[in-house]
Structure 1
Amino acid sequence: MRILHVDKFLRRQGGAAGYMLDVAALQRRAGHDVDFFAMQHPANLPATYEDQFPPFVQLDPPPRGALARAGTVATMVWSGRAARCLAEVVDDFRPDVVHLHNVYHQLSPSILRPLQRRGIPVVMTVHDYKLVCPSYRLLDQDGLCDACVGAGPLLTAPVRRRCKDGSIGASAVLALESSLHRLLGAWRPVSRFIAPSAFLASTLRRGGFPADEVVHLPNFVDADAIEARHGPGEGFVFVGRLSGEKGVDIAVRAVGQLPGARLTVAGDGPERAALEALAEDVA
C-alpha cells in the first residue's frame, strides 16, 4: 500500500510528529511504500518531495505589520498554496490513502480538497481537541471549558472567554478560523478520525462528528525497547511536553506535600523554567 503522511512538521517536534514518524517506520517495516508532506523548514528530516512543500509559516511570534498578519490569518483559514503543493505531490506519488496528523494553521483543511477531487481516502489521527475547541485545550482562563463542543458554526465563546492567552485579538482569530471551517464543512472529506483516548473519541462525537467515523485507537510504544523492572517503584514519573494544559504544576505541588516522595519529569517545553522554580519552592 502507498501511504502519504501529512503533518505541518517533519521532525520530532512534539508527540504528534513523533507518532507519525513511528507509525511510518512500522508501516515501512511491514512492506508499505510511505512518504511525507509538510511545510518547509531547515530542521526537517530528508523527504522525497521536500522541494514541493509549501513555505514555512511563522506564527509565534506573529509577523510584524498589519498586511503580513492579515496574510497569515488568511493562510490559517485556507491555504491555497498548501493545497496546490499537495496536489502536485499526490499526482506523482499516487497514494492509496492519506493519513493526516496536525495540519491546522500552517497547512489548513484546504489540503483536503485536492484529495477529495481525486477520490483518495483520508484518515486523520486527532492528537488534540482542535476540531471541537478553537484553542486546542478545552480550557479557558478559569479552567475547564467545553463551550464550543457541539455549538453552532458561529463561535463567540472564545472571544468572550479570551481563550487564547487572555487575548481578545488572538482569540478572535481562532474563533474566525473554526467558525469558517464549520460553515464550510471543511473536515467532511475525512473518512475516519482516529482518537487515541476514549474521552477524545466521545468528545468528537459530542462535537457533531459521526459516531461511525470516530475510531478509538490508543497510541503505542515499542515494548521491546523498554527494560521491564518488577518490584516497588521509586516515586512518580511524568513524561510529556511541559505546557500549561498538562497540569505538571499540580503534580509538583502534590508531591511536595508527601514526605519523602519524588517526582521525575521527562520532557521539555515552554513551562520548564516555571516548573523548575516551583520544584525548588516546594522542596
Structure 2
Amino acid sequence: MRILLVHNHYKQSAGEDTVFFAEAALLESHGHIVEKLTLTNNDVNSVTEKLEAALGVIYNSKSARIVEEKILTYKPDIIHVHNFFPLISPAVFYVAQKHHVPVVMTLHNYRLLCPSAYLHYNDRLHLENIHKTFPVQAILDKAYRNSYFQTTSVVLTTGIHKLLGTWQTKVDRYITLTQGGTEMFRNSSLRLRPEQLVVKPNFTTDLGEGAAEREDYFLFVGRLSPEKGVETMLKANAAFPFKLKIIGDGPLREAVEAHAATHPNVEYLGYQKRPRVEEELKKAKALIFPSEWPEMFGMSIIEAFSTGTPVIATNMGGAAYLVKHNQNGLLYTPQQAAELVKQVQLLNQNKELAAALGREARQEYLDKYTAEVNYQQLLDIYTDVIRKKMKPTSAITSADFEFYKN
C-alpha cells in the first residue's frame, strides 16, 4: 500500500509529532511504501511570513500546489492527515478529492471545535464551543495564543469550512483516540456522519515491566500548566504530604518549585529525557494524571500501563476511558483534591491492591496498546476506506482486501 502521511509541525515538538513518526515507522516496518509531506511553523518567523500564513489558513494555494505535486508524483492509495493547521490548511482535502484519493484524518485535539484546541482556556472549560459554528466569544476571550487576530483566523477557518461542508464531504474517515472523543465530535457543530468516525487509540513501545517491589513515591509526568491539574495535585499534597516526584516544565514551574522548596516530600526533577522518565515509571507506586480538560488520550497513561504501573486519574476525557476504576487504576473527580488524597491513601495502605492494579494495567497494555495491535487496527481502517472510495460495495472482492494488505 502507498501511504502519504501529511503533518504540520508546531514550533515546539508535541505528542502529535511523536504519533506521526511512530505510525510512519510502524507502517514501513510492515512493508508499506510511506511518503511524508510535512511543513513546520519554524519556517514562519518574519512579519511577511506570519501574514502569509494567516491569510492562507482558510485555503493555502501554495500548499495546495505542493500537495498536488506530491499526489501526481507519488500516486498514493490513501492520504492520512495528522495536522493541517496552519500552513497546509484544508486545501489538502480539496486537492485529494480532486484526484480521487481517499483521506483519513486523526483528531489529535479539538481544533475543529474550539480555537484553543483544548476546550480549556482562561483557567476553565469551555464546552459551549462544541456546538457553535463560529464561537465568537472565544475571539473576545483571545482563546488562541492570547491573540484576537490569531483566534479569529482559527474561528473563521473552521467555521467557514463547516458552512462549506468540508468536514462532512472531503474527509472519508476521522480517527478518534477513545470512544469519548467519538461521542464529542459526533454531537458537535461539525455534523459528521456516524460512519465517518472510528476509534483507534495510540500505541507505545513496550517499556518493559517495572519492579515488583515499588518505591514509596507517586509520579507526575507532563506539562506544568493549569489544564493539567497541577494546582489540584499540589493542593492534595499539601493536605496529605505523600511522597511525590514531578517531571516536566511549563508556566507553573515556579509554583511547583516553591511547593517543593517548602515540602521535603516533593522532588521536582524538571524536564527529563525519555530514559529517565521510564526509569521513574518503573519504580513509582503509581502515576498521577490529574488533567482537568477532556484530553483526547493520555500517552503517559499507556506508558505507565506498559511498565505495570497503575494510574490515578481524573474521571474525564481520555483518561476516563483508559483507566478502569479498581481494575488498572483509580479515578477521582477533577479539581477535587480531597478525592485525590483518598486514592493516594488507598494505595499507600493497600499494597495488595496496588500490585493487582499494576498487573491488570500491564495486561491492558498487552491487549490494546502494543504496536502490533495498533498496526492491524490502522490497516483495517485504511483498507475499509480505500474499498468504499474506489468501488461500490457490491463490487468488492476478497482479492481487493488481500491486495491492500501488502
TM-score (norm. length: structure 2):
0.58
Q: Does 1:156 align with 2:143?
A: no
What is the CA deviation profile of residues 229-274 of structure 1, one whole-angstrom value per residue up to 9, with x for unaligned ones? 3344533223334444323333233233322321332x44x42633
Return closer, same or farther for 1:186/1:261 CA change in 2, 3 Å cut-off: same
For 1:149, what is the secondary structure of its paired residue? helix
Moved more, 78-87 or 164-173: 164-173
How many residues end up aligned between the 2 structures? Answer: 260
After superposition, give the CA deviation of every residue in 1:47-87 in whole Å (9 maximum; x if it has no partner).
Answer: xxxxxxxxx334xxxx54xx765433212222111111011
Contact 1:101 1:124 in 2 (8 A): yes
Task: Decide which of 79, 90, 95 is 2:76's aligned counterpart.
Answer: 95
CA contact (8 A) 2:11 2:41 kept: no
How far has the Cα of 1:136 moved from its partner?
0.5
Aligned AA (2:193): P
Which of 28, 51, 57 does residue 44 from structure 2 map onto? 57
Superposed, 1:103-118 pairs within 5 Å as 103-118=84-99
Is 1:263 the counterpart of 2:245? The answer is yes
Cα distance in structure 1, aligned partners of 2:226 and 2:3: 34
Aligned to 1:49: none
Structure 2: stretches of 5+ with no match in the other structure: 264-406
- Sequence identity, in percent? 27
The one-letter code sitting in structure 1 at the alignment partner of 2:174 is F
Q: 1:247 to 1:149 in 2, by over 3 A?
A: same
Kindly indicate whether the alpha-carbon contact (under 8 Å) linking 2:79 and 2:103 is maintained by their aligned counterparts in 1.
yes
Q: What corresponds to 2:7 in structure 1?
A: 7
| Structure number with larger C-alpha Rg | 2
Q: Does 1:190 align with 2:177?
A: no
Query: What displacement does 1:163 show?
Result: 2.2
Q: Specify the alignment match of 2:210 in structure 1.
A: 228
Superposed, 1:1-283 pairs within 5 Å as 1-9=1-9, 13-39=13-39, 56-58=43-45, 63-64=46-47, 70-151=51-132, 153-187=133-167, 188-207=169-188, 208-223=191-206, 225-232=207-214, 234-265=216-247, 267-268=248-249, 270-271=250-251, 273-280=253-260, 283=263
Alignment correspondent of 2:309: none
Which amino acid in the other structure matches residue 110 of structure 1?
A: A
Following the alignment from structure 1 to structure 2, what is the Cα–Cα distance between the partners of residues 4 and 156? Answer: 35
Distance 1:272 1:33 in 2: 43
Distance 2:160 2:41 in 1: 28
Distance 2:219 2:186 in 1: 32
1:40: Cα distance to partner? 5.4
CA distance in 2, matches of 1:25, 1:11: 22
CA-CA distance at 1:147 after TM superposition: 1.9
Q: Secondary structure at the match of 1:245?
A: helix
User: Which amino acid in 1 is paired with 2:139?
Assistant: V
Deviations 1:188-216 (A, max 9, x none): 31111111122222111111222221112
Contact 1:163 1:171 in 2 (8 A): yes
Give the root-mean-square deviation of aligned CA atoms: 2.7
User: Counterparts of 1:38 and 1:171 in 2: how far apart (Å)?
Assistant: 23
For 2:181, the aligned partner's letter is L
